[in-house]
C-alpha cells in the first residue's frame, strides 16, 4: 500500500494515457467496452489522486524523479497542496464528465467518438501531469501536450468553421507555448535551476529588465489559457467543441491550467514578495480586474447560451488571477478555493446547456422560455450554479468570493472589492434571468416532464450537489478548504490555525 | 576493436562496388549487397560507439599501418561516433525503404541507385572519421559525386538542378581545398592532431587565417548556409523521395560537422571566436537562414519544396549552435543534427509513400489522406510536432538548449529568432496537418482555389491504401526515433556530447 502511494503520482498520469491507447484500439464497434476504459481510467485516476490527500495535508510531499531530461533538470513529479487541489477537482469532475459524455455523444450521434474519448483522456493525463510537475520544464512539457491534444477536440465538428476556429486556437496555444519555453530557457540560463519553491526562487538581483521579460513571457504563456484579456478571444470560439469538452476542458482543466500556471509563477517562481516589489502584481491585478468587468458585460449581450457561459468563465478565471495577484493570504485562499468552487458550478452550467441542446436542440437563451417545466432537474441545477456564481450564500461561490473580498480589504485595495461586488451583480444579471424565464414563462413547446437521459442528468445532479456542499460545509468534501489553506501557508508562510 | 574506424567506410565502399556488379545481373541482388554493407557498417558504428562511450577513449587507426603524420589516421572519438552512428542508421532505414519507391519514381535506374547510396554513405562516414584535413576533402568529393548521381535520376528538373548543385559543390570543394593548401604550407602537416599542436604558435599567421576562412566558406556552401543555400530547394524538390530522404537528413549536416571539428579540434581555442569572428558570422548567417527558410516554406505548395525550404532553416539551427559557441548552445546545435536528420528523413520518406500511393506531391492534393493512410499520417503528425518543437519530441529539446545557450551568451536577437521561427514552422506544418485530416472531398471549392484553378491529373480515382510494409516500417521507426531521442536526449548528451563540447568549458 505504501509503495502504491508513492507511485501514485505517476500512476495517476499514466492510467488515462493507457486508456487513450486502449480506446481507439477497441473502436466504435465495441463501444460499450470502449467507454468502459474511460470510466475505469477516470475512477482509477481519481483514486490515485485522492489517496494522497491525507498525506499531503499531514505535510508529506510525494516525490518521484523519472529521468534526467536535460542537463541538471529532471522529469520530476512532486505532489504539493497546490497541485493536489487542482488534480483532485479535475480528476473528480472527469468521472462525471465521462458518464455525461457518453450520454451526450450517443444522444447527439456524434462522429469520431473514439478520437474524442481518446483525446479527452490524453488531456487529463497532461492536466494531472502539470499539476504534479516539480519543476518548470516538466510543467511546460505537460502544458504543451495539453495544448496540442485539445486541438482535435476543438475541430471535432469537422466543419469549415470548426477548422477556422481550430487554427485560431492553435495560433494562440502555440504562441503561448513558445513564450513559456522561452521564459523557461531564460530562467534556466540566468539561474541554473527550474525547481518550484514555495515562496519562489528568483531573486531581485537579476535586475528589473530581466524580471519583467520573464514576467511578460510567462504572462503571455499562461494568460492565453487563463483567458486574461486581451488574450481571451479563442475561448468563446472554442465552444464549438462538444459540450463535454467545453465543460471539462474549457471550464476546468485547460483554462485552469493557465490559472494554475499563475499560481506557480507567483507563489513558486517569483514568490509573492518579489512579485509585489517589482510591481508585476499590480499590472496583473489591473488586467485581471478589467477582464472580470468586461467579460461580465459582454456575457450580458450574448444570446447563445454556451457563449454566455464562456464569457462568464473568462471573468471567473480572472477572479482567481486577481486573487493571486493581490498577494495577501485571505485573497490567495479565496483564489485557491475559487478554483474548486468555480469548477463545480461552471461544469454544472455547461452540463445543463449540453443536456438542453442534445435533448431539445435549443442553443439560445431566448429559446428557453418555459423549458423549466419540461426539464426541472436540469434547470434547477442550472439555477443553483447561477446563484452560486453570483455569490449567494449556501453555494460554494459565496465562500470563495467572501475570502476574495476580505483579501482585497486586507490588501487595502478597495477598488478590487468594488470589482468583485459589481461583477457579482453582473453575474446575477446574466445568469439568473435564464432560470426565471425557464420556470416562470410558458411556452407551448415545453409541456410535461421530459428530462434528458439519466447518463446526463445524474452527473448534473452530482455537480450541483457538490456546489452546494462546498458552500454549506467547505471542508467536508475532500477537504478542499484545508488544501487551499495549506497552499497559502506554503506560499506566504502565514498559518491559519483555527481559521476557516 | 581497433579496426572499427576503418571497417565502417570500407564495408560501405566494398558494398558499393559489389552492389554495382551484382546489380548488373539482378537488381534484387544489387540491393541485397548494398543493404548488407550498410547494415554491417551500422553494426560497426554501434560497436565503435559502445567502445568509445564505455572506455571514454578514442579509437585511432592508422591506414595501411602508416603512422601519422606520414600516413592517414582515422579517429573514432565521441563526435565521430555520434556522426557515424547517425549516418549509417539513416542509411539502413532508407536502403530498406528505397526499392519500392525508386522503382516507382525512377523506373530503370535502381541498379545504379543502390551502389551510389552506399558510396554516399562511405563518403560521409569517411568525413566523420578521418583525422586528416586533406583526406576529409577526398571523402567530401566522394560523397558529392555519389550525391550528384543520385539526385540526377529524379524528376524532369532533376538533372538541371543537379548540374547547378555540381557547380556550387565544386566551388565549395575548391574553397575548402585551397584552405587546406594554405594550412599545409603554413603548418607543414595535414593531420588534425598535429595541426592542433602546431597552430597555437601560428595564430597571427595571415595564411592560417586565410585557410580558416576559405575552409569555412567551402563547407558553408556545402552545408547550404544562408545565403549559400540557393542550390538546395530545386535539388530536393526534383530528387526521388528515397534520395531526398537520404541526402537531406545527413549530407548538409556532415559539412556542419566538419566546421565544428575545425572549430573544436583543429584550430586553437579562441581562434574561431576571437582571432577571427567565424562563429559569430556563422551564427548571424544562420539567424538569417532560419527566418528566410521558415518564411519561404510557408508559401510553398509543393510538399517537397516546403521541406527543402524548411531544411534551409533547420540546418541553420546547427549553425546557430556553432555561433553561440558555448557548451549548452553547441549541444543544442549538435543534438539538432540528429533531431533534424530523423524528422526530415521521416517527412521526406512520408512524401515518397504518399507519392507511391496517390501520385500527389502538392499539399492541397493531400486532403483526406489521414483516412486512407492512417499510420503514415500519424507518423507525419509526429514529424510535424517535432519540427515545431512540441515536447516530448526531439525538436523541443534542441530548441530549448539553443534558447538557453542564447540566454547565456546574451544573444537576445538570436533568442527572438528561435522563438519566431518556431511559430513560423507551426504555421506551415499545421497547414499540412489540417489538410491531411480533413474529410476528402468535403469541400471541393476550396481545393480548386488552392490549386489556382489547375487540375492535377495524377490523382487516381481508385481508393488509396496504406503504404506497403517495406515503406511503412522505416517511417514508423523514424517516428518512434523522434520521440525516443526526445525523451532520452539527456542520455545522448551525457554519453557523447558533453565530452565533445568539453573544450568550450574553458
B342 CA: distance to closest CA in chain A (Å): 19
A224 in Cβ contact with A287 (< 8 Å): no
Is the pLDDT score of A92 beyond 60? yes
* ipTM of the modeled complex: 0.86
Confidence at residue A433, expressed as pLDDT on a 0 to 100 scale: 87
Residues of B with CB under 8 A from a CB of A: 328, 331, 385, 388-392, 396-397, 399-401, 403-408, 415, 418-419, 422-423, 426, 430, 434, 438-439, 442-443, 446, 487-490, 493-494, 498
Q: Enumerate residues 6+ apart whose C-beta is below 8 A from A41.
A: A15, A16, A18, A19, A121
A345 in Cβ contact with A467 (< 8 Å): yes
A23 in Cβ contact with A37 (< 8 Å): yes
DSSP B266: I
Is the pLDDT score of B84 beyond 90? yes
Each residue of A357-377: b (16+ CB within 10 Å) or e?
A: bbbbebeebebbbbbbbbbeb
Rounded mean pLDDT, B239-260: 91
B291 CA: distance to closest CA in chain A (Å): 16
Confidence at residue B458, expressed as pLDDT on a 0 to 100 scale: 45
> d(Cα B88, Cα B45) in Å, to the nearest integer?
7
Q: Enumerate residues 6+ apart whose C-beta is below 8 A from A32.
A: none
Confidence at residue A1, expressed as pLDDT on a 0 to 100 scale: 66
Taking an 8 Å cut-off on Cβ atoms, the answer to whether A178 and B430 are in contact is no
Taking an 8 Å cut-off on Cβ atoms, the answer to whether B419 and A163 are in contact is no
Taking an 8 Å cut-off on Cβ atoms, the answer to whether B443 and A160 are in contact is yes
The residue of B383, B386, B404, B500 whose CB has the most chain A CBs within 10 angstroms, and thus the best one to mutate to test that interface, is B404
DSSP A240: G
> d(Cα A235, Cα A257) in Å, to the nearest integer?
14
pLDDT digits (tens, 9 = 90+) for A194-228: 999 888 888 888 888 889 999 999 999 999 988 88
What is the pLDDT of chain A when averaged over all its residues?
87
B226 in Cβ contact with B288 (< 8 Å): yes
Band of pLDDT at residue A265, cut at 50, 70 and 90: very high
Residue of B nearest to A192 (CA): B404
A69 touches chain B (CB under 8 A): yes
Q: Which of A171, A174, A190 sits opposite B407 (nearest CB)?
A: A190
DSSP B466: P
Rounded mean pLDDT, B422-448: 72
Q: Which residues pair with B130 in a beta bridge?
A: B74
Is the pLDDT score of B63 beyond 90? no
pLDDT digits (tens, 9 = 90+) for A335-359: 998 999 999 999 999 989 888 888 8
Query: What are the C-alpha distances in Å from B442 to residues A331, B155, B368, B456, B459?
Result: 52, 31, 9, 18, 16
CB-neighbour burial class of residue A167 (10 A; exposed 0-12, middle 13-18, buried 19+): middle
Q: Which residues pair with B75 in a beta bridge?
A: B60
Residue of B nearest to A167 (CA): B430
Which grid cell sits at B363? Answer: 499539399
DSSP-assigned letters across all residues of B207-255: HHHHHHHHHHHHHHHHHT-TTS-TTHHHHHHHS-HHHHHHHHHHHHHHH
> d(Cα A144, Cα B477) in Å, to the nearest integer?
24
Band of pLDDT at residue B348, cut at 50, 70 and 90: very high
B37, containing H or E segment: helix B27-55
Q: Which of B391, B403, B498 sits opposite A141 (nearest CB)?
A: B391
Residues present in chain B in total: 506
Under 8 Å CB pairs connecting chains A and B tally to 88
Q: Which of A71, A160, A171 sits opposite B490 (nearest CB)?
A: A71
- DSSP-derived 3-state class of residue B367: coil
Q: Enumerate residues 6+ apart whose C-beta is below 8 A from B46.
A: B85
Residues of chain B with Cβ-Cβ distance to A144 below 8 Å are 390-391, 396
Taking an 8 Å cut-off on Cβ atoms, the answer to whether B438 and A163 are in contact is yes
Residues of chain B with Cβ-Cβ distance to A179 below 8 Å are 419
- Strand ranges for A62-177 from DSSP E: 62-70, 73-79
The residue of B490, B497, B499 whose CB has the most chain A CBs within 10 angstroms, and thus the best one to mutate to test that interface, is B490
Taking an 8 Å cut-off on Cβ atoms, the answer to whether B401 and A145 are in contact is no
> d(Cα B49, Cα A359) in Å, to the nearest integer?
64
- Poorest-pLDDT segment among A369-378, B259-268, B402-411: A369-378
A488 CA: distance to closest CA in chain B (Å): 31
Band of pLDDT at residue B443, cut at 50, 70 and 90: very low
Is the pLDDT score of B457 beyond 60? no
pLDDT digits (tens, 9 = 90+) for A112-136: 888 888 888 999 999 999 999 999 9
**Nearest to residue B140, comparing CAs of B15, B251, B8?**
B251
Rounded mean pLDDT, A76-98: 90
pLDDT digits (tens, 9 = 90+) for B126-141: 999 999 999 999 999 9
Taking an 8 Å cut-off on Cβ atoms, the answer to whether A174 and B403 are in contact is no
> d(Cα A440, Cα A360) in Å, to the nearest integer?
19
Q: Where are the alpha helices (DSSP H) in B263-393?
A: 278-298, 303-324, 327-358, 369-372, 374-388
B102 CA: distance to closest CA in chain A (Å): 34
The residue of A21, A75, A178, A180 whose CB has the most chain B CBs within 10 angstroms, and thus the best one to mutate to test that interface, is A178
Which grid cell sits at A205? Answer: 538581483
Residue of A nearest to B425 (CA): A174
Confidence at residue B427, expressed as pLDDT on a 0 to 100 scale: 86
B487 CA: distance to closest CA in chain A (Å): 7
User: Is the bond preceding residue B401 a cis peptide, omega within 30 degrees?
Assistant: no
A17 touches chain B (CB under 8 A): no
Confidence at residue B257, expressed as pLDDT on a 0 to 100 scale: 94
Q: Which of B423, B488, B490 sits opposite A174 (nearest CB)?
A: B423
**Nearest to residue A386, comparing CAs of A305, A284, A329, A321?**
A305
A193 touches chain B (CB under 8 A): no
B407 in Cβ contact with A190 (< 8 Å): yes
Q: Where are the alpha helices (DSSP H) in A411-453?
A: 414-440
Residues of chain B with Cβ-Cβ distance to A70 below 8 Å are 397, 400-401, 489-490
Percent of chain B exceeding pLDDT 70 equals 95
What is the pLDDT of chain B when averaged over all its residues?
87
Is the pLDDT score of B451 beyond 70? no
**Nearest to residue B355, comparing CAs of B97, B32, B89?**
B97
Taking an 8 Å cut-off on Cβ atoms, the answer to whether B391 and A144 are in contact is yes
A381 CA: distance to closest CA in chain B (Å): 38
For residues B265, B268, B274, B280, the Cα torsion angle rounded to the nearest 10 degrees is: -20
Residues of chain B with Cβ-Cβ distance to A170 below 8 Å are 426, 430
A167 touches chain B (CB under 8 A): yes
A178 CA: distance to closest CA in chain B (Å): 6
Taking an 8 Å cut-off on Cβ atoms, the answer to whether A67 and B487 are in contact is yes
Query: What are the C-alpha distances in Å from A379 to residues A94, A311, A367, A456?
Result: 22, 20, 14, 13
Residue A497's Cα: distance from chain center in Å?
Answer: 28
Rounded mean pLDDT, A8-20: 88
Q: Which of A145, A148, A185 sits opposite B400 (nearest CB)?
A: A185
Taking an 8 Å cut-off on Cβ atoms, the answer to whether B397 and A178 are in contact is no
pLDDT digits (tens, 9 = 90+) for A54-83: 888 888 888 888 888 888 888 888 898 889
Is the pLDDT score of A499 beyond 80? no
B333 in Cβ contact with B322 (< 8 Å): yes
Q: Which of A68, A166, A175 sits opposite B423 (nearest CB)?
A: A175
Residue of A nearest to B418 (CA): A182
pLDDT digits (tens, 9 = 90+) for B178-237: 999 999 999 888 999 889 989 888 888 888 999 999 999 999 998 888 888 888 888 888
Residue of A nearest to B485 (CA): A69
The residue of A68, A69, A139 whose CB has the most chain B CBs within 10 angstroms, and thus the best one to mutate to test that interface, is A69
A9 in Cβ contact with A84 (< 8 Å): no
Amino acid at each position: 500500500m505504501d509503495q502504491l502511494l508513492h507511485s501514485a503520482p505517476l500512476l495517476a498520469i499514466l492510467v488515462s494515457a493507457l486508456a487513450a491507447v486502449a480506446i481507439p484500439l477497441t473502436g466504435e464497434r465495441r463501444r460499450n467496452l470502449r467507454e468502459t476504459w474511460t470510466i475505469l481510467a477516470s475512477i482509477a485516476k481519481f483514486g490515485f489522486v485522492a489517496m494522497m490527500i491525507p498525506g499531503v495535508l499531514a505535510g508529506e510531499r510525494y516525490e518521484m524523479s523519472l529521468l534526467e531530461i536535460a542537463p541538471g533538470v529532471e522529469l520530476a513529479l512532486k505532489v504539493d497542496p497546490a497541485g493536489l487541489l487542482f488534480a483532485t477537482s479535475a480528476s473528480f469532475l472527469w468521472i462525471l464528465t465521462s458518464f455525461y459524455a457518453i450520454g451526450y455523444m450517443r444522444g447527439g450521434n456524434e462522429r469520431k467518438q473514439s478520437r474524442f474519448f481518446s483525446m479527452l483522456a490524453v488531456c487529463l493525463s497532461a492536466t494531472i501531469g502539470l499539476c504534479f510537475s516539480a519543476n518548470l520544464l516538466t510543467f511546460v512539457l505537460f502544458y504543451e501536450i495539453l495544448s496540442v491534444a485539445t486541438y482535435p477536440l476543438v475541430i471535432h465538428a469537422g466543419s469549415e468553421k470548426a477548422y477556422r476556429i481550430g487554427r485560431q486556437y492553435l495560433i494562440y496555444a502555440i504562441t503561448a507555448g513558445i513564450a513559456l519555453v522561452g521564459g523557461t530557457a531564460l530562467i534556466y540560463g540566468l539561474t541554473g535551476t527550474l525547481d518550484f519553491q514555495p515562496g519562489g526562487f528568483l531573486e531581485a538581483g537579476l535586475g528589473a529588465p530581466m524580471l519583467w521579460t520573464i514576467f511578460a513571457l510567462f504572462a503571455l504563456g499562461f494568460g492565453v489559457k487563463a483567458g486574461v484579456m486581451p488574450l481571451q478571444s479563442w475561448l468563446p470560439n472554442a465552444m464549438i467543441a462538444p459540450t463535454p469538452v467545453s465543460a471539462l476542458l474549457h471550464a476546468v482543466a485547460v483554462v485552469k491550467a493557465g490559472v494554475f500556471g499563475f499560481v506557480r509563477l507567483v507563489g513558486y517562481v517569483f514568490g509573492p514578495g518579489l512579485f509585489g516589489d517589482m510591481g508585476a502584481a499590480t499590472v496583473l491585478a489591473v488586467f485581471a480586474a478589467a477582464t472580470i468587468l468586461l467579460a461580465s458585460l459582454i456575457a450580458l449581450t450574448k444570446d447563445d447560451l454556451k457563449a454566455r457561459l464562456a464569457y462568464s468563465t473568462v471573468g471567473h478565471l480572472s477572479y482567481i488571477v486577481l486573487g493571486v495577484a493581490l498577494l495577501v493570504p485571505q485573497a490567495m485562499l479565496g483564489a485557491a478555493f475559487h478554483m474548486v468552487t468555480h469548477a463545480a458550478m461552471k461544469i454544472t452550467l455547461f452540463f445543463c446547456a449540453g443536456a438542453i441542446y442534445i435533448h431539445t436542440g435549443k442553443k439560445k437563451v431566448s429559446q428557453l422560455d418555459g423549458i423549466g417545466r419540461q426539464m426541472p432537474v436540469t434547470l434547477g441545477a442550472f439555477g443553483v450554479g447561477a446563484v452560486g456564481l453570483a455569490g449567494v450564500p449556501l453555494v460554494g461561490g459565496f465562500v470563495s468570493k467572501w475570502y476574495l473580498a476580505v483579501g482585497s480589504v486586507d490588501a487595502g485595495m478597495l477598488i478590487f472589492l468594488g470589482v468583485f461586488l459589481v461583477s457579482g451583480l453582473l453575474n446575477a444579471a446574466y445568469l439568473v434571468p435564464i432560470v426565471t424565464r425557464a420556470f416562470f414563462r410558458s411556452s407551448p413547446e415545453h409541456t410535461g416532464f421530459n428530462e434528458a437521459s439519466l447518463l446526463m442528468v445524474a452527473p448534473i445532479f452530482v455537480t450541483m450537489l457538490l456546489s452546494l456542499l462546498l458552500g454549506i460545509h467547505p471542508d467536508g468534501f475532500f477537504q478542499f478548504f484545508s488544501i487551499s489553506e495549506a497552499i497559502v501557508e506554503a506560499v506566504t508562510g502565514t498559518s491559519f490555525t483555527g481559521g476557516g | 576493436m581497433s579496426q572499427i574506424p576503418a571497417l565502417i567506410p570500407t564495408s560501405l565502399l566494398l558494398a558499393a562496388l559489389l552492389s554495382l556488379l551484382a546489380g548488373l545481373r539482378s537488381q534484387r541482388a544489387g540491393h541485397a549487397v548494398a543493404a548488407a554493407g550498410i547494415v554491417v557498417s551500422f553494426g560497426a558504428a554501434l560497436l565503435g560507439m559502445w567502445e568509445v562511450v564505455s572506455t571514454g577513449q578514442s579509437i585511432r587507426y592508422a591506414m595501411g599501418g602508416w603512422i601519422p603524420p606520414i600516413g592517414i589516421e582515422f579517429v573514432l572519438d565521441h563526435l565521430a561516433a555520434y556522426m557515424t552512428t547517425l549516418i549509417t542508421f539513416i542509411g539502413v532505414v532508407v536502403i530498406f525503404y528505397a526499392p519500392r519507391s525508386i522503382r516507382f519514381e525512377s523506373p530503370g535506374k535502381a541498379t545504379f541507385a543502390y551502389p551510389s547510396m552506399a558510396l554516399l554513405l562511405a563518403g560521409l562516414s569517411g568525413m566523420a572519421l578521418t583525422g586528416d584535413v586533406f583526406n576529409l576533402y577526398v571523402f567530401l568529393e566522394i560523397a558529392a559525386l555519389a550525391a550528384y548521381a543520385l539526385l540526377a535520376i529524379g524528376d524532369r528538373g532533376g538533372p538541371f538542378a543537379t548540374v547547378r548543385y555540381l557547380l556550387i559543390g565544386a566551388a565549395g570543394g575548391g574553397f575548402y581545398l585551397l584552405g587546406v593548401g594554405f594550412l599545409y604550407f603554413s603548418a607543414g602537416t595535414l593531420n588534425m592532431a598535429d595541426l592542433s599542436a602546431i597552430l597555437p604558435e601560428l595564430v597571427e599567421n595571415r595564411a592560417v587565417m586565410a585557410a580558416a576562412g576559405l575552409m569555412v566558406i567551402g563547407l558553408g556552401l556545402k552545408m547550404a548556409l544562408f545565403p549559400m543555400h540557393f542550390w538546395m530547394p530545386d535539388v530536393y524538390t526534383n530528387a526521388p523521395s528515397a534520395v531526398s530522404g537520404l541526402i537531406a537528413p545527413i549530407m548538409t549536416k556532415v559539412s556542419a560537422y566538419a566546421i565544428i571539428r575545425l572549430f573544436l579540434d583543429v584550430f586553437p581555442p579562441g581562434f574561431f571566436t576571437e582571432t577571427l569572428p567565424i562563429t559569430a558570422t556563422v551564427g548571424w548567417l544562420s539567424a538569417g537562414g532560419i527566418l528566410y527558410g521558415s518564411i519561404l516554406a510557408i508559401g510553398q505548395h509543393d510538399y517537397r519544396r516546403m521541406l527543402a525550404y524548411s531544411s534551409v532553416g533547420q540546418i541553420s539551427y546547427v549553425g546557430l549552435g556553432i555561433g553561440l559557441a558555448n557548451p549548452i548552445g553547441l549541444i543544442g546545435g549538435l543534438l539538432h543534427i540528429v533531431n533534424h536528420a530523423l524528422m526530415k528523413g521521416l517527412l521526406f520518406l512520408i512524401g515518397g509513400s504518399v507519392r507511391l500511393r496517390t501520385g500527389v506531391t502538392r499539399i492541397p492534393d493531400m486532403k483526406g489522406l489521414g483516412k486512407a493512410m492512417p499510420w503514415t499520417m500519424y507518423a507525419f503528425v509526429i514529424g510535424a510536432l517535432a519540427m515545431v518543437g512540441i515536447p516530448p519530441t526531439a525538436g523541443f529539446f534542441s530548441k530549448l538548449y539553443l534558447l538557453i545557450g542564447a540566454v547565456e551568451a546574451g544573444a537576445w536577437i538570436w533568442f527572438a529568432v528561435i522563438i519566431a521561427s518556431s511559430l513560423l514552422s507551426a504555421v506551415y506544418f499545421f497547414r499540412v496537418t489540417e489538410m491531411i485530416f480533413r474529410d476528402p472531398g468535403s469541400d471541393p471549392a476550396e481545393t480548386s482555389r488552392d490549386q489556382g484553378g489547375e487540375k492535377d491529373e495524377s490523382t487516381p480515382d481508385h481508393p488509396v491504401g496504406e503504404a506497403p510494409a517495406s515503406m511503412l516500417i522505416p517511417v514508423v521507426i523514424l517516428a518512434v526515433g523522434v520521440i525516443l531521442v526526445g525523451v532520452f536526449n539527456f542520455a545522448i548528451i551525457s554519453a557523447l556530447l558533453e565530452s565533445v563540447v568539453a573544450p568550450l568549458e574553458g
